[in-house]
Amino acid sequence: MEQRCVELGLKMTGQRRVIARVLSEAKDHPNVELVHRRANAIDNRISLATVYRTLRLFEEVDILERHDFGDGKARYEKADQDHHDHLIDVKSGKVIEFQNREIEKLQAAVAERLGFKLVGHRLELYAVPLADDATESGE
Amino acid sequence: MEQRCVELGLKMTGQRRVIARVLSEAKDHPNVELVHRRANAIDNRISLATVYRTLRLFEEVDILERHDFGDGKARYEKADQDHHDHLIDVKSGKVIEFQNREIEKLQAAVAERLGFKLVGHRLELYAVPLADDATESGE
DNA sequence: GTAACTGCAAACGCTTTGCGCGAAA
DNA sequence: TTTCGCGCAAAGCGTTTGCAGTTAC
């Protein structure tokens, strides 16, 4: 990810490096506050404003993807991976990634049938565990 | 819609009647400010707070559906119609409704394969017109 | 009559921004 | 030296809420 930033001519400061690292290592979809907390665990002089500015910057150059899963807070993940959509376990709040080529194709077909060219989409599945032994957790 | 409110035991005040009517007659997906403006065209003593409170109330009893198409403002439509998803023309902002049984089935299948039971979903297609003669409009 | 609703204005939560300072090129 | 990023605090925005007066039943 750092390499990517250099290619784009972004000045890599200490703060940005830390924030980049936090998201590189994240296996979940942290919101801004969580990124801030994790960044501060590494360097506690990073302000919330800088986190907001940096996340936005990274999003603009397509290093990160921003999501909104309906709780009113932006959540981030790195964008360099294969495209996928999200299933949100409404019991635990956990987010699971999935891919489905067939749905993607149908989406493009629907758009075309309506006279449009698909340029993006948002698909989120809200679901509950089948075997109801859900463990409560933040994600 | 008014009938529906009475069934639910909602007190039908003048303000609520107006707001219900505005959304009954809406062919688009107005945001709160727009609902407020349209309601005021009928009775200019309806406050924004009441619009917010009423829309939320109607949403809670499933008279209305709330959407968030990514512009940070809630948008509403009546909920009594067939289920559908939305295609957003990113050129004009226009919203087109569509149905696709096959996508719905695949969504349920995806959820099940992951060990979940689908309880809701959000699908939005962002697209541009194929024949690029888009007329700019609010919706 | 009384519980429920309303308007107003203040507060809310998330996010952005103006400013002066400090670091990098 | 000039540009850019930073922390801080204040402001912005859509939305919610406390309160006192008003309305529907």
Question: For chain A, what are the domain ranges?
Answer: 2-78, 85-136
How far apart are the CA of B133 and the nearest CA of chain A, in angstroms?
11
Residue, of B8 and A15, whose pLDDT is higher = A15
* Lookup: tokens for B62: 């499933």
- Counting residues of chain A whose pLDDT is more than 90, the rounded percentage is 72
Per-residue confidence band for B135, with pLDDT thresholds at 50, 70 and 90 = very low
The rounded percent of chain B whose pLDDT value lies above 70 is: 93
Residues B63/B4, Cβ–Cβ less than 8 Å: yes
Q: Given the structure tokens 């801030």, which residue do they identify?
A: A36
Predicted confidence at residue B73, as pLDDT, reads 94
Mean pLDDT of all residues in A27-33:
95
Asked if residue A74 keeps its beta carbon closer than 7 A to nucleic acid strand C, the reply is yes
Which pLDDT band holds residue B11 (cuts at 50, 70, 90)?
Answer: confident
Which of A70, A114, A120 lies closest to B98 in CB terms? A114
Whether A11 CB is under 7 Å from strand C = yes
CATH topology for the B85-136 domain: Dna Ligase; domain 1 (3.30.1490)
- pLDDT tens-place string over residues A98-123: 999 999 999 999 999 999 999 999 99
Whether the pLDDT of residue A134 is over 50: the answer is no
* Average pLDDT rounded to a whole number, residues B13-36: 95
Q: List CB contacts of B47: < 8 A, sequence separation 6 or more.
A: none
What is the pLDDT confidence band of residue A70, given thresholds at 50, 70 and 90?
confident
CATH topology of domain B2-78: Arc Repressor Mutant, subunit A (1.10.10)
By C-alpha distance, which of B79, B135, B70 is closest to A121?
A: B70
Residue of A nearest to B107 (CA): A125
pLDDT band with cut points at 50, 70 and 90 for residue B132: low
- CB atoms B106 and A120 under 8 Å: no
Residue A10's CB: how many other CB atoms inside 10 A? 17
Residue type, A41: A
**pLDDT 10s digits, B79-91:** 977 899 999 998 8
Which positions on chain C have an atom < 7 Å from some protein CB? 4-10, 13-18, 24-25
* Contacts (Cβ under 8 Å, ≥6 apart) of A135: A92
Interface contact B95, partner A, CB < 8 A: no
Q: Where are the beta strands (DSSP E) in chain B?
A: 64-68, 74-78, 85-89, 95-98, 116-129
Cβ distance of B103 and A100 shorter than 8 Å: no
Q: CB of A12 within 8 A of CB of A57?
A: no
